C-alpha cells in the first residue's frame, strides 16, 4: 500500500512538472513571450546613456517604448509626493498658458499600453510561477501595466476636477491644491515602485548576461 501511494504521488508530481514545462514552452513561443522580450529590449536600449530616444520611441511604439522613456525621465530623480510626475495623459489641461484641452484622456494608454496588456494577458497567470527569468519578467510587466492603468484612472479623474495640469511633459498638482489628491499620489507612488522593480530587474539581467559572456 505504501509503495502504491508513493507511485501515485510520484506520478502526480511528474504530471504537474510535465504540464508546467509544456506551459513554459508554449509561453516562450507565444505572442506574450515575444512581447515581454521586446519590452525588455526596449527598456535596455531606451535607458542606456546617450540613447537616441526619439528613434527608439518609434521603433518600440508597441512595446511600451514611449511609456518607458517617459517613466525613465520622469522618475530618474526618484518620487516626489507633489510631483512633477511622468505624463500619463496627453490630453490633459496645460499649466502655462492655462489651456483646457478636450479629447479622450485615455488615448495615450489605449494607444501604447493596452496592446501590450492584450498580448500578455493570456499568459499573465504563468508569471506567478517565476521559475525562470522570463516568467519573472512577465509578472513584473503585468504589475507595471496594472499600475499604469491605475495611474491613468486617477489622473483622468484629477484632470476632471481641475487638480492637475501638464507642463514640459510632466504632470503637476496645481498650486494651492491640497485636498483630494491622496489617491492620485498613491497611484503614482505605486507606479514608481512597479517601474523601479521592472527597471532594476532589467539592469540585473543585462549585468548577468555581460558577466557570463563566452
pLDDT at 18: 47
Burial of 77 (0-12, 13-18, 19+ CB in 10 A): exposed
Cell of 113: 499600453
Residues 158-168: tens digit of each pLDDT: 999 999 999 98
Task: Give the structural domain span for 144.
Answer: 32-211
- In-domain check, residue 106: yes
- In-domain check, residue 5: no
pLDDT at 152 over 70: yes
Q: What average pLDDT does range 7-31 have in this prediction?
A: 59
pLDDT at 106 over 50: yes
Which position has the higher pLDDT, 12 or 147?
A: 147
- In-domain check, residue 24: no
- In-domain check, residue 8: no
- In-domain check, residue 1: no
- In-domain check, residue 205: yes
Total domains, the chain:
1
pLDDT at 149: 98
Q: Phi first, then psi: give them for residue 181, nearest 5 degrees.
A: -115, 5
Predicted confidence band of residue 104 (pLDDT cuts 50, 70, 90): confident
- In-domain check, residue 147: yes
Q: What average pLDDT does range 28-45 have in this prediction?
A: 90
Q: What average pLDDT does range 168-176 have in this prediction?
A: 91
Can you say whether the dihedral through the CA atoms of 138, 139, 143, 146 is positive or negative?
A: positive
Half-sphere exposure of 55 (CA within 13 A, CB side): 4
For the entire predicted model, the pTM comes to: 0.84
Q: What average pLDDT does range 121-149 have in this prediction?
A: 82
> How many residues in the chain?
214
Q: At what angle do helices 182-211 and 31-46 cross, to 10 degrees?
A: 90
Q: What average pLDDT does range 99-119 have in this prediction?
A: 88
- In-domain check, residue 14: no
Residues 45-85: tens digit of each pLDDT: 999 989 999 999 999 999 999 999 999 999 999 999 988 99
Amino acid at each position: 500500500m505504501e509503495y502504491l501511494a508513493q507511485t501515485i504521488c510520484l506520478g502526480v508530481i511528474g504530471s504537474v512538472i510535465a504540464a508546467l514545462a509544456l506551459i513554459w514552452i508554449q509561453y516562450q513561443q507565444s505572442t506574450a513571450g515575444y512581447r515581454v522580450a521586446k519590452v525588455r529590449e526596449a527598456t535596455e536600449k531606451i535607458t542606456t546613456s546617450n540613447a537616441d530616444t526619439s528613434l527608439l520611441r518609434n521603433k518600440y511604439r508597441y512595446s511600451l517604448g514611449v511609456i518607458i522613456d517617459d517613466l525613465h525621465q520622469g522618475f530618474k530623480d526618484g518620487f516626489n509626493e507633489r510631483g512633477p510626475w511622468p505624463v500619463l495623459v496627453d490630453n490633459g489641461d496645460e499649466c502655462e498658458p492655462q489651456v483646457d484641452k478636450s479629447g479622450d484622456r485615455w488615448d495615450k494608454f489605449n494607444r501604447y499600453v493596452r496592446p501590450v496588456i492584450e498580448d500578455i494577458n493570456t499568459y499573465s497567470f504563468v508569471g506567478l510561477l517565476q521559475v525562470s527569468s522570463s516568467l519573472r519578467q512577465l509578472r513584473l510587466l503585468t504589475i507595471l501595466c496594472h499600475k499604469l492603468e491605475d495611474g491613468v484612472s486617477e489622473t483622468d479623474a484629477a484632470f476632471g476636477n481641475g487638480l492637475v495640469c501638464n507642463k514640459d511633459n510632466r504632470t503637476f498638482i496645481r498650486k494651492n491644491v491640497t485636498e483630494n489628491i491622496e489617491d492620485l499620489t498613491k497611484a503614482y507612488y505605486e507606479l514608481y515602485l512597479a517601474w523601479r522593480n521592472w527597471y532594476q530587474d532589467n539592469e540585473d539581467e543585462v549585468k548577468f548576461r555581460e558577466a557570463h559572456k563566452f
